[in-house]
Amino acid sequence: MTEFAFELELCATLEERRDGIVARQLGGSVADPGGRVLDVVCVEPGPAFDERVAITPASIPDAAIESDVGPGRARYWKDAFDCHPETARRATERAVDIGFFERERHNGRDYVRQVARYPDWFDRLVGIENKPDLGRPGDLESQLRTDVSLGLVDEVILATESYVTRAHLNRIPEEVGVWRVRRRRDDRPAIEVVREPTSLPADDWGVELLEERPGRTDVEVVSPAAKARARRRLAERAYGKGWRTFDLPACRTCRPDESSGATLPYCEWAGRVVDAATVCGPACGGYDPGDEPAVDLEAERERRTPWEGDPAGKRRRQAGLDRFGEP
């Protein structure tokens, strides 16, 4: 199985068996943005998860969350941000567009307020590294060592199809859990827990590996505050993005496959789930142009998870609330 197909089938399985949010291909670094990408992230619900669901289906910009815009008296948008004006303007517009801010006009100026106080909505974050074939590990050991030393997520797990030997376990940090994912007779994935993960100190200092060269390793120490902000960004990105970030191609050979419990792009010519964005098209020997399958992936996500694609929101309906000031 390709790593792409393995990842989608694992996401479908986790979505079916765990509470919260499952997402894929998210940045997992702090000091070096983009330096580490987590294959799968599971966001476990916190005490106010339902409040977050009610606000917006999209990721809320971090600048908007950190701003001094509150749910009480509306504020002039420029006075509420401690960042570059262009960054503030983009965050303001995006927050208004997705329903986290509501806008008022006073004397020709834009004033904004939050529709609701930002909630404490997520608990633990679990990062999963997918490596179907341990015979082709690539940078696996270095990636997992970085995940453990940084401690951005609460647990790190390696998921594989390979038979896991003692030699494999000895080559990766002992804090990393290991799953062997295999197909059952009903063609659904089964997860065998080879080793349980150890909880990481996500609220403590972390060390991020930046670059390794012969005789030298560059690292950066990351503060608990920086990790907390990065964890919130990671959770928000996961909430808005989910894992259905793939295309179903306009090809008669590719059909929506629901054997994993969710719709996946299965190519009958190739005999597997395919990444349509990279392998489908006229250059493919099995390409047969046709209409794109009528599948609503957002509706499927809403049906199978607590995420809501069109929540009622919390926009104020009463007039004159700003006279009460900040609560």
146-155 average pLDDT score? 97
Q: Is the pLDDT of residue 327 over 60?
A: no
Q: Is the pLDDT of residue 1 over 80?
A: no
pLDDT reported for residue 217: 85
Angle at 291 between CA 242 and CA 57, to 5 degrees: 20
pLDDT reported for residue 257: 87
Within 10 Å of residue 190's Cβ, how many Cβ atoms? 12
Please report, rounded to a whole number, the percentage of residues in the chain having pLDDT higher than 90.
76
| CA-closest candidate to residue 11, choices 2, 26, 22, 1 | 22
237-243 average pLDDT score? 98
Least confident of 1-10, 147-156, 181-190, 261-270: 181-190
More confident residue, 188 or 151: 151
| CA-closest candidate to residue 26, choices 230, 324, 308 | 230
Residues whose CB falls within 8 Å of the CB of residue 320, separated by 6 or more in sequence, listed in order: none
Check if the beta carbon of residue 126 is closer than 8 Å to that of residue 155. yes
Residues whose CB falls within 8 Å of the CB of residue 299, separated by 6 or more in sequence, listed in order: 309
Q: Is the pLDDT of residue 137 over 50?
A: yes
pLDDT reported for residue 187: 67
pLDDT reported for residue 64: 97
| CA-closest candidate to residue 193, choices 182, 183, 178 | 178
pLDDT bracket for residue 325 (50, 70, 90): very low
Work out the mean pLDDT of the chain and round it to a whole number: 91
Q: How many helices (H) and strands (E) does the chain have?
A: 9, 14
Q: Nearest 5°: phi and psi at 7?
A: -65, -45
pLDDT digits (tens, 9 = 90+) for 291-306: 888 889 999 999 999 9
pLDDT digits (tens, 9 = 90+) for 62-87: 999 999 999 989 999 999 999 999 99
Check if the beta carbon of residue 12 is closer than 8 Å to that of residue 240. no
Please report, rounded to a whole number, the percentage of residues in the chain having pLDDT higher than 70.
94
Residues whose CB falls within 8 Å of the CB of residue 156, separated by 6 or more in sequence, listed in order: 126, 127, 128, 129, 144, 147, 148, 173, 175, 176, 177, 197, 200
* SS3 category, 226: helix
pLDDT bracket for residue 147 (50, 70, 90): very high
Tell me the C-alpha distance between 69 and 176, whole Å: 40
Q: What is the DSSP letter of 163?
A: P
pLDDT reported for residue 47: 94
| CA-closest candidate to residue 220, choices 15, 36, 53, 71 | 36
Q: What is the DSSP letter of 289?
A: B
pLDDT digits (tens, 9 = 90+) for 306-319: 999 999 766 544 33
Check if the beta carbon of residue 97 is closer than 8 Å to that of residue 64. no
Handedness of CA 162, 167, 172, 176 (dihedral sign): positive
Check if the beta carbon of residue 73 is closer than 8 Å to that of residue 325. yes
Least confident of 39-43, 107-111, 176-180: 107-111
Tell me the C-alpha distance between 272 and 132, whole Å: 15
Tell me the C-alpha distance between 180 and 184, whole Å: 12
pLDDT bracket for residue 222 (50, 70, 90): very high
Angle at 99 between CA 154 and CA 226, to 5 degrees: 30
Q: What is the DSSP letter of 312?
A: -
Q: Is the pLDDT of residue 30 over 80?
A: yes
